[in-house]
Structure 1
Amino acid sequence: MSQINQADQASTLNFSEKLRSLWAKPWIPSRYGKAPFFWMLSFVIFGWKYLYETPGTFELAMIVLSICLFLPIYLYSFWISGWRAVFCIVVILSLGLGWANYNFGGSSFVIFAATMCSRFQQKRDAYLGLFLVLATAALVSYVMKFPTYFWIPAVIFSIPSAMGAIIGERLGRANEKLFRKQEEIEHLAALAERERIARDLHDLLGHTLSVITLKAELAKKLFDKDSAACKKEIIDIERTARQALAEVRSAVLGYRDTGLAHELRGAKNTLDSAQVQLESEVDVVQLPAAIENIIALALREAVTNIIRHSNASACHLSLKLIEQDIHFHISDNGFRDAQKTPEIEKGNGLTGMSERVRAMGGKMLISIKHGVAIDIQIPLHSAQ
């Protein structure tokens, strides 16, 4: 017996919790604000009659029943669309027509039924629903010979109220779509920024750590043979590490601009340390900042790959302006045995380089002959 009582108490508590949670939830979607509650003030027309006439017991019961039926359907209509909206419209319209011979304020129900046509997603369906509500109200009023002080305000006031609701609803949906698009754009922008930072950090740290590793190995070899040269390499390691730290900070803040001249000097020093002879043909060209940054990063990535992955002894570099196109070329002789030429596997560096070039409307070609050759062509006007 006690178990049954406990089960009853548990079910009662669950029911009360459900009621409490239902009461705590918003009755109307937040995008409507408090306006739907103010719209219910139009029921002043429905109550006008009872300022000078006391309702009978039956009529009072019908008033209470009508309000109890109207309120939940009215609130529910803000959450639905489609055939559920049709159900709400039919019920509210029937309430209005049912009160026609007893209270001219029943036209308020007809007006509410007309405004509920705004719940349809398609504009065509909304205006069709409005037409059917007005036609039904007019036809039933004509057949049942309802008084003119009922159907005239029901028809006349329904038109501006419903059209305003339809336009407002469509505007609200358009704003929601716009907000969602803005959120999507912000999300994509954040992803693009993270990818940009990832590419830049890879280019910076991949190159710099390779240089530091190379110089550290060289310093280790020179430690017992040439202390002065070893000390010079250690000083270069410190300088490179400090420079890399500054560049990483700038890249994270999004305003890194090392410049091509700086990268050319760094490439020469790096290749010299790796005992790779650099031959360069660089025309004096005024490059836009965006293109200069892409070429500088491409040079950095190419040099990193040369000292990390190839056995090159020579490297050729050229930068020319040909018919309003920037042509950048860098190649090495790292694969001297043509029969053992490996296939190129694009890592993050080459992929990031290719993405930057395509973003500027350019082309990048990677080929292998005596070594890896990278050719980049970018239209000069793409940065304007």
Structure 2
Amino acid sequence: MRLLRRWIDGPWVPPQVGRAPYLWIASLAFFGWKYLYVDASALEYALLALTLAAFVVIYFASFWYAGRRAVPFIAAAFAMGVAWAPVNFGASTFFIFASAMCSRLGRPRIAYCCLAAVLLSATALALGLQLPLSFLIPTLATGAPVGIASIMDAQVRSSRRLLLLKQEEVEHLARIAERERISRDMHDLLGHSLSLITLKAELAGRLLERDPAACRQEIRDIEASARHALAEVRSAVSGYRETGFAQELERARVALSAAGVTLHADAAMASLPAMPATAENVLALALREAVTNILRHAGATRCDVSLGMQDGLIVFRIRDDGKAVAEAGALVQGNGLRGMQERVAQLGGWLGMRCDQGMSLELRLPMERAAQGASR
């Protein structure tokens, strides 16, 4: 029933095979060559018509089956060749088609063994029945290259199909990676900005009665922070955001100052050589995440930041004097630090954290690897 429906609805062969099979069926004309110059009986003509009709069905159906399920079609074509060889030397056409069908078996080794079996059996048949060379030569001279070409073509199609699957998998992984990137950036951007807005809102609430002018200033800062966060979210979603370390350090100083935390930056940072944009962006986001954690959890009064070069490595350290030892486990498992570790790992770097009378974070990036990442 399924075969009949395919004949009615089409196509008769899988689309990836193309239209060539419709032309190959014309090779059956060699099987009818005899009847242009030899008059046969009515029975032979009837058997000829039945054979051709049956073979056309077998031929087109064979394209839809592979592996062991293709064996009956090869056997049927081979049997037609054996049955007609004694009376019609054009039966070599069936052996050629059987040779081509060997490509349906899938595994090249099995396909080549089947091809050899078909050709050797045809040779044995020709020698056993003492058939003329007009039967044997077309069978071997055409069957061998056609069979080999069909097997190689099947391998190419299989490789192309696997390549397409790999490409789809790569595209799927790229989409996942992009979603993770956006997720990390959204966490870093909004986490820091919202923490600052919350802190300033609390401060404005306390200043509302005592110092209205200072309260208005804090509200203006809240508005500016919200606008800045919105702009960064838009640029991050577009995928073009790059944050400068110096700019991020200044933002950190303002945010920590609002929370009563003094930021001390190493004076040697000003004399550092220019860093690749990729490394600078990772360092800026690491600084932002660390400052966000200090604002949320540390209860610190001092924060020390240093950035330097050691043996070709960019070394970044940040430490606070808070008492957030109890929250260390939560920080290690947090999305922010996990995202930070992923970014550092992509550049071949290392990230370490220690909680001992405050949190101490150290990040190392190879300058050469970061430069390669920037050039890509």
Task: Name the residue aligned to 1:328.
Answer: 316
Q: CA deviation at 1:25?
A: 5.0
Task: Name the residue aligned to 1:159.
Answer: 144
TM-score in terms of structure 1 length: 0.91
- 1:235 and 1:375 mapped to 2: Cα distance? 35
- 1:104 and 1:211 mapped to 2: Cα distance? 91
- 2:6 and 2:103 mapped to 1: Cα distance? 29
| Structure 2 letter corresponding to 1:317 | V
| Structure 1 letter corresponding to 2:238 | L
The answer to whether the 8 A contact 1:367-1:373 is kept is yes
- Write the deviation string for residues 225-261 of structure 1: whole angstroms up to 9, x where unpaired: 1122111111111111111111111111111012111
Q: CA deviation at 1:196?
A: 0.4
- 1:33 and 1:18 mapped to 2: Cα distance? 19
| Structure 2 letter corresponding to 1:313 | T
Task: Name the residue aligned to 1:293.
Answer: 281
Of residues 13, 22, 25, the one that matches 1:28 is 13
The answer to whether the 8 A contact 2:86-2:129 is kept is no
Q: CA deviation at 1:81?
A: 2.8
Q: CA deviation at 1:80?
A: 2.4
Q: Which shows bigger deviation, 89-98 or 251-260? A: 89-98
- 1:323 and 1:376 mapped to 2: Cα distance? 14
- Say if 2:228 is the partner of 1:243: yes
Q: Equivalences for 1:229-268 in 2 at 5 Å?
A: 229-268=214-253
- 2:4 and 2:102 mapped to 1: Cα distance? 30
Task: Name the residue aligned to 1:311.
Answer: 299
Task: Name the residue aligned to 1:123.
Answer: 108
- Write the deviation string for residues 159-179 of structure 1: whole angstroms up to 9, x where unpaired: 111111111111111111111
Of residues 3, 22, 34, the one that matches 1:49 is 34
Of residues 154, 160, 164, the one that matches 1:175 is 160
Any unmatched runs of 5+ in structure 2? none
- Write the deviation string for residues 135-187 of structure 1: whole angstroms up to 9, x where unpaired: 10010111112232122211211011111111111111111111111111111
Task: Name the residue aligned to 2:354.
Answer: 367
- Write the deviation string for residues 109-159 of structure 1: whole angstroms up to 9, x where unpaired: 110001111112222212211111111001011111223212221121101
The answer to whether the 8 A contact 2:3-2:61 is kept is no
The answer to whether the 8 A contact 2:243-2:280 is kept is no
- 1:239 and 1:372 mapped to 2: Cα distance? 29
- 1:316 and 1:266 mapped to 2: Cα distance? 15
Of residues 260, 268, 282, the one that matches 1:275 is 260
- 1:125 and 1:222 mapped to 2: Cα distance? 85
Any unmatched runs of 5+ in structure 1? 1-14
Q: Secondary structure at the match of 2:329?
A: coil
- 1:173 and 1:233 mapped to 2: Cα distance? 66
| Residues 244/362 of structure 1: CA separation in 2 closer, same or farther (3 Å cut) | same
The answer to whether the 8 A contact 2:6-2:12 is kept is no
Q: CA deviation at 1:54?
A: 4.7
- Say if 2:356 is the partner of 1:351: no
TM-score in terms of structure 2 length: 0.93
Of residues 355, 362, 366, the one that matches 1:379 is 366
Q: Which shows bigger deviation, 364-373 or 61-70? A: 61-70
CA-based RMSD? 1.8
The answer to whether the 8 A contact 1:220-1:230 is kept is yes
| Structure 2 letter corresponding to 1:278 | L
- Say if 2:202 is the partner of 1:202: no
Q: Secondary structure at the match of 1:376?
A: strand
- 1:366 and 1:100 mapped to 2: Cα distance? 83
Of residues 102, 105, 125, the one that matches 1:140 is 125
Q: Which shows bigger deviation, 48-57 or 246-255? A: 48-57
- 1:342 and 1:184 mapped to 2: Cα distance? 39
| Residues 351/95 of structure 1: CA separation in 2 closer, same or farther (3 Å cut) | same
Q: CA deviation at 1:20?
A: 4.6
- 1:113 and 1:348 mapped to 2: Cα distance? 61
- 2:327 and 2:189 mapped to 1: Cα distance? 26
- 1:167 and 1:321 mapped to 2: Cα distance? 56
Task: Name the residue aligned to 2:89.
Answer: 104
- 2:5 and 2:110 mapped to 1: Cα distance? 37
Q: Secondary structure at the match of 1:224?
A: helix
| Structure 1 letter corresponding to 2:281 | N
| Residues 30/136 of structure 1: CA separation in 2 closer, same or farther (3 Å cut) | same
The answer to whether the 8 A contact 1:101-1:147 is kept is no
- 1:22 and 1:298 mapped to 2: Cα distance? 64
- Say if 2:275 is the partner of 1:302: no
The answer to whether the 8 A contact 1:100-1:147 is kept is no
Aligned length, in residue pairs: 366
The answer to whether the 8 A contact 1:306-1:332 is kept is yes
| Structure 2 letter corresponding to 1:350 | L
| Structure 1 letter corresponding to 2:232 | E
